[in-house]
Amino acid sequence: MGNTFCFFCGCIQQSNVGVVEKWGRFSRLAQPGFHFFNPLAGECLAGLLSTRICSLDVRVETKTKDNVFVQLLCSIQYRVVKENADDAFYELQNPQEQIQAYVFDVTRAIVPRMNLDELFEQKDHVAKAVLEELAKVMGDYGYSIEHILMVDIIPDPSVRKAMNEINAAQRMQLASVYKGEAEKVLQVKKAEAEAESKYLGGVGVARQRQAITDGLRENILNFSHKVEGASPKEVMDLIMITQYFDTIKDLGNSSKNTTVFIPHGPGHVRDIGDQIRNGLMEASSAQVNLD
């Protein structure tokens, strides 16, 4: 239901206030409820004002201290003060235009003193300055400024593109630094792992050779004790020939094996045995000289 009136009476809804005139002059304010008017005495309802909070969006274009043109989108929330509704009714013909004019004036006085980055950081300061100025001015006209929100700051499209490119370049630079550090750590760890692997591989080869040497020594001694008249040299030749034929057998069992012994033949096993024997003797001689 809305506000209903007839010639002698009227009903004013909640959140509204009526302005009553007598012989064309302001008489009183009519609060929400049912009211009687005396037309014989010149009384009539001149108009109604809403006391609800209204919102006005204002778009202001200005430039910053570093010569960047920006658009500020402000949202002003205001209302009529019930006690001063007569001032709001009679003093201002278009309050929205009045509010918009003061927003233009204040923002264009403050923003040119700030850089673009400062404007983004201190937009609440701009909103506070606009609120203080509007509250002081519009209060004389029966309006109360409740809130002012700096909804958005929109720079020129070319400036926005440049800012995004700068931000992207900075992030790429930071990402390159982190990537380089990660690759450095990876290379260091890889080098340490390779060094440790080679060290352990060397230890394994040394132990393998030591085990082979011990095994050969033990076989030679056992064979010499069990077979009378067999010299260590003959036993060594026999072991080498046996290992030679075992190796040939393994090569023959695998079709994918590409290992080739040069020279090839049982007669050359003696030469290989002589080389191993001479190497062992030289190592033993070097060990004696060191002791």
Residues near 167 by beta carbon (within 8 Å), at least 6 away in sequence = none
Average pLDDT of the residues in 261-284: 58
Residues 110-120 have a mean pLDDT of: 87
Q: Is the pLDDT of residue 215 over 60?
A: yes
| pLDDT, average across residues 208-236 | 68
241-270 tens-digit pLDDT: 777 766 777 666 766 656 555 555 555 555
Query: 9: which DSSP letter?
Result: E
Which tokens is 6 given?
A: 């007839």
> For position 77, what pLDDT does the model report?
92
> pLDDT digit string (tens) for 181-209?
888 888 888 888 888 888 888 888 778 77
The chain-wide mean pLDDT, for the chain, equals: 78
Domains of the chain, first to last: 9-50 (no CATH), 54-155 (3.30.479.30)
Q: Residue 230 above 80 pLDDT?
A: no
Which pLDDT band holds residue 285 (cuts at 50, 70, 90)? low
CB 62 within 8 A of CB 111: yes
DSSP element (H, E) containing 126: helix 123-138
pLDDT above 60: residue 2: no
Total residue count of the chain as it appears in this document: 291
User: Which tops the pLDDT comparison, 52 or 208?
Assistant: 52
Rounded to whole angstroms, the Cα distance separating 49 from 270 reads 123
Lowest-pLDDT range, 7-16, 32-41, 179-188, 270-279? 270-279
For residue 89, is pLDDT > 60? Answer: yes
Secondary structure (DSSP) of 29-90: EE-SEEEE--GGGTEEEEEEEE-S-EEEEEEEEEE-TTS-EEEEEEEEEEEE-GGGHHHHHH
| pLDDT confidence of residue 216 | 67
Give the 3-state DSSP-derived string for 154-186, with helices as H, strands as E and coil as C.
EECHHHHHHHHHHHHHHHHHHHHHHHHHHHHHH
